[in-house]
Amino acid sequence: MAVLELKQVTKIYQKGDQQVHALRGVDLTIEKGEFLSIIGPSGSGKSTLLNITGCLDTPTSGRVIYNGKELGKMKEKGLSDYRKDNIAFIFQSYNLIPVLTVQENVELPLVIERKHSKKEMAAMALKIIELVGLKGMENRLPKEISGGQEQRVAIARALVKKPLVVLADEPTANLDSETAEDVIALMQKINLERQTTFVFSTHDPRMQKHARREIVLRDGAIVSDERK
């Protein structure tokens, strides 16, 4: 079943008098439970594709269909609401809220979602914190844990509301080899156990090795789409 479909998606940025074609008619279908990596050189359109996939940006033309619902023409408010309910992000530099504890950071998407009681939110957060191996660190601030642990918190934060798709932008770029392997293993485990769809852009060969589908972008177009 297709979770996400991009049909003839283009994105053109205006830089002064010049037009920059970031995406040129991209067609892409992502199925539920995929573990998909997007690779390509700098300026190939990876970030733009990820932004449009994550409803952070809108295409210049083409269609974006999530679970059968077309989002391409939605305004910011509608996209924001859709993101809130269905999409989660993992960032290269973790981007945890520095003044919130591990548990509060993990609870944050649920707080924004406003669908659960305080008690439910705490229970959901603690469960996922245990899943990512950070039990006992709930009350620590981001500055009190390591980079690898921060990324685990970011993963927990992304997964706590059981999103349709998790989008990760270079999730292992700031981690040492051992920690990166741990994080990849964790993402794979969750992908397999929960059938959560993961889409990540990466330059990291370790990450590419684990991807079950690899899309190569060049000059805003998909030049290769390989399932392993």
Partner 1 sequence: MHTIIKIAYRNLLRHKRRTILTGIVISFGLFLYIFMDSIMNGLDRGSMDNMINLSTSAVQIYTREYDADKESYPLKYGLQDLAGIEKTLCAHERVKSVTPRTRFLGELSNDEESMPVIGTVVDPQKDKTVFKLTDHLVGNYFSEENEREIILGKDLAREMNVEPGGFITMYALTSYETRNADDFKVVGLFNTTDPALNKSGVYITFRAANSFLDLENTVTELNVQLKHRINFDNLLDDMHDVQALVTKELPNLRASSFKELGAGILALVKGKKNWGAGMTFVFLLIAAVGIVNSVLMSVYERIREVGVLRAMGMGGKEITWMFMCEGIMIGFVGSLGGVVLGVASVFVLTTYGWPLDKIYGDMYIDTAGFPFWGTIYGEWNIPLIIGVFIFGMLTAFLASLPPARKAARMEVTQALRFV
20, 70, 73, 112: residue in contact with partner 1 (rule CB under 8 A): 112
Q: Does 51 bind partner 1 (CB under 8 A)?
A: yes
- What does DSSP say about strands 2-15 and 165-169: parallel, antiparallel, or unpaired? unpaired
**In the complex with partner 1, which residue's Cβ is closer, 82 or 210?**
82
Q: Does 123 bind partner 1 (CB under 8 A)?
A: no
- Taking residues 192 to 221 in sequence order and writing x for each that binds partner 1 by CB under 8 A, - otherwise, the string is ------------------------------
Q: Does 84 bind partner 1 (CB under 8 A)?
A: yes
Integer angstrom CA distances of residue 91 from 31, 99, 116, 168: 22, 18, 25, 6
Least distance in angstroms from the C-beta of 33 to partner 1: 23
* C-alpha torsion angle, residues 189, 82, 64, 154 (rounded to 10): -30
**In the complex with partner 1, which residue's Cβ is closer, 83 or 210?**
83
* Among 162, 40, 157, CA closest to 103: 157
Least distance in angstroms from the C-beta of 160 to partner 1: 11
34, 38, 45, 104: residue in contact with partner 1 (rule CB under 8 A): 104
**What CA–CA distance (Å, rounded) separates 154 from 199?**
15
**What CA–CA distance (Å, rounded) separates 46 from 39?**
7
